[in-house]
């Protein structure tokens, strides 16, 4: 039985699963959830993927995230799992339920930003399928694995990490934009499927997130690399284009996820929460 929180962001007695937890936003989100009292199931592929032109998180980075969560007081189960592999996802969910009894919160954060940097007609089929398989179908697989469990308990919160690319287009990022738009569609459809069971499904759309060395983020740098522009120039462009004239911090996104996970958002489902400094308000 799910514990009743004493405050809106108190997750004591609950278990949260975070995908893509090895570094970056996944690490920031996991640590925030641990700080709110949740126990954590941390998933990451934790190995390089053919076709992705930059290093993925490593096993040691995943373990570092786990250590930070333990330092915050959480019990932690960390597993290497590829969200493209349904069996690996299901086995991780089974291991989580054996350890913690249930999963109360699912955060679908696993994603890749490249292969990108090409016009639509220059994207080959393997590149297109890789992007959608990780960024969109990966979230579907975890929801498939967890949804029935939450439904039977008539409780649960699912948060999908999309992007401003799920709301607007970006030149030379068709695969990423399509996947993130699809993730918002999946969010809304799943919210309707699960609303009768008191389950909530929402999406967070971050703007350009600073590559904070504390969480070993590198997404902004990889996008700049895909576009073949210097990182400093790329950051300057985003700072100029965001009305609040600053990059988003990983903790800003983690705070939004924490709110959606907790009881303060108990009547919020099918929503898309932007954390973009006003970028999509223009």
As annotated, the active-site residues are 176
Rounded to the nearest 10°, the torsion over CA 267, 271, 277, 282 is: -130
């Amino acid at each position: 039985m799910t514990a009743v929180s004493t405050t809106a962001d108190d997750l004591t007695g609950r278990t949260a699963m975070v995908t893509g937890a090895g570094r970056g936003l996944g690490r920031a989100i996991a640590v925030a959830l641990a700080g709110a009292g949740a126990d954590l199931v941390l998933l990451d592929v934790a190995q390089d993927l053919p076709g992705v032109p930059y290093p993925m998180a490593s096993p040691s980075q995943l373990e570092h995230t786990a250590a930070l969560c333990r330092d915050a007081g959480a019990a932690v189960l960390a597993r290497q799992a590829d969200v493209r592999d349904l069996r690996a996802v299901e086995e991780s969910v089974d291991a989580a339920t054996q350890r913690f009894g249930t999963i109360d919160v699912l955060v679908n954060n696993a994603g890749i930003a490249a292969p990108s940097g090409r016009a639509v007609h220059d994207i080959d089929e393997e590149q297109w399928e890789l992007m959608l398989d990780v960024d969109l179908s990966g979230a579907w697989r975890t929801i498939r694995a967890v949804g029935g469990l939450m439904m039977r308990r008539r409780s649960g919160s699912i948060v999908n990490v999309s992007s401003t690319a799920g709301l607007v287009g970006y030149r030379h990022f068709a695969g990423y934009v399509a996947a993130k738009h699809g993730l918002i569609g999946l969010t809304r459809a799943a919210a309707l499927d699960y609303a009768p069971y008191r389950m909530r499904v929402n999406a967070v759309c971050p703007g350009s997130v600073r590559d904070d060395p504390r969480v070993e983020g590198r997404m902004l740098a990889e996008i700049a690399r895909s576009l073949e522009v210097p990182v400093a120039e790329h950051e300057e462009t985003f700072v100029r284009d965001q009305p609040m004239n600053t990059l988003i911090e990983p903790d800003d996104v983690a705070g939004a996820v924490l709110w959606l996970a907790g009881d303060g958002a108990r009547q919020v489902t099918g929503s898309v929460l932007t954390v973009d400094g006003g970028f999509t308000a223009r």
